Structure formats: C-alpha cells, structure tokens
Amino acid sequence: MLTQTGTPAPISDATAAGTDPLAAFSDRSLLIVDDDKPFSTRLARAMESRGYQVQVADSVAEGLSAVETRAPAFAVIDMRLGDGNGLDVIARLKEQRPEARGVILTGYGNIATAVNAVKLGAFDYLAKPADADEIHGTLMAQPGERADPPENPMSADRVRWEHIQRVYELCGRNVSETARRLNMHRRTLQRILAKRAPR
C-alpha cells in the first residue's frame, strides 16, 4: 500500500543560512520503493528529517503508480522487489520526469548492475544496506561527482557474510545448492551459517 509518512521536519537554522543542499531544489518530493518495510520506514523518517517530502511504496506496481500520479524529484528504489525489478520504476520515472534523480539500492552490486541502472536513467547506485547519510549525499552529488564515503561502512567480512546469506535464501536455504553455487565446501558453508553476523 502506498503511504505518505508525514510532513517534512521544520527547516533548521543551518538550512535557513543556506547550508542545506536541498535548498537549491524547489521540489523536495522523494519516492522510496522497497519491500523491506522496517528499512523503508526508518529511511523515510531519516529522509524527512533532512527536508524531503516522502512517499513510500513496497512494490514495482505501486512505484509505477506513484510515478504516474506525480513523478517525484527524487527516488530511492530497491532493485529486487517481490513483483519485479526496480529498474522498471527508474525507467518510467525518467520518461515522466527526465531531470529526476533516482538511486538504485542493490544487494547485487556488480559492474553489470551499475551499467544497466545508469543506462536506464539511474543517477547512481548503492549497495544495501545503505544509510540515510549515504543516500542523501548521493542524491545531492553533482553529476560525475562521488559522494563522500560513509563514516562506518560494512567490513569486508560483513559484505561477504551478507552475500552468502542472500545466495542461501535464494537457494531456498538449501546448504548443498548454496555451497555448489558459491564454489564452497559444504562444511565450510555450514560453519559460516552457524556463526553470528560479523560487524
């Protein structure tokens, strides 16, 4: 279901002083499309506190409907959704509003994904889990400019663990099939799955 999370937070003194990069944008509408509801709720609140007017959708169909109703100035869209691919929403957004800035969130951060996302009109892409500061910095970056690196990025061990968990879930939690696809010994995989997530 499409939800409007509320009005944006009051403009701070820093914003009034002209230090808020959003001040350059008269339209601060932001569409978040993600089927991870706890994540999208947290992100919506965090982005509202940064001055965005946020609308949330949890599927490709709802994202497309939101774009058709009123194409936002900004969008943060998960690539993998329950009913399809978030790139379809990005492509439609760019048709409706060519100057819109859309960021794709993906747990499958590879070169092919990045190239495809940008070809379809994404302003940039970020690997999940990305935080609000990183997303805001990316949305506000100048074309060709890199956003500042996050203060506390995931460790290499955590990135590896996240990737293994994702493949494991996609394989229906079948250890043997996951090990085969990851080219990993079954016992090694079992040991990794039995441990807590690294920081």
Model confidence pLDDT, tens digit, residues 170-195: 888 899 999 999 999 999 999 988 88
Q: Rounded to two decimals, what is the model's pTM? A: 0.64
Residue 155 near residue 162, CB atoms below 8 Å: no
Q: For each of the domains in the chain, give its residue range(s) and CATH number, in order of start.
A: 3-140 (3.40.50.2300), 156-194 (1.10.10)
Contacts for 98 with CB less than 8 Å, ≥ 6 apart: 121
Q: What is the pLDDT of residue 152?
A: 65
Read off the pLDDT of residues 89-128 as tens digits, 9 standing for 90 and up: 999 999 999 999 999 887 655 556 666 677 777 788 887 7
Give phi and psi for 60, each to the nearest 5.
-60, -45
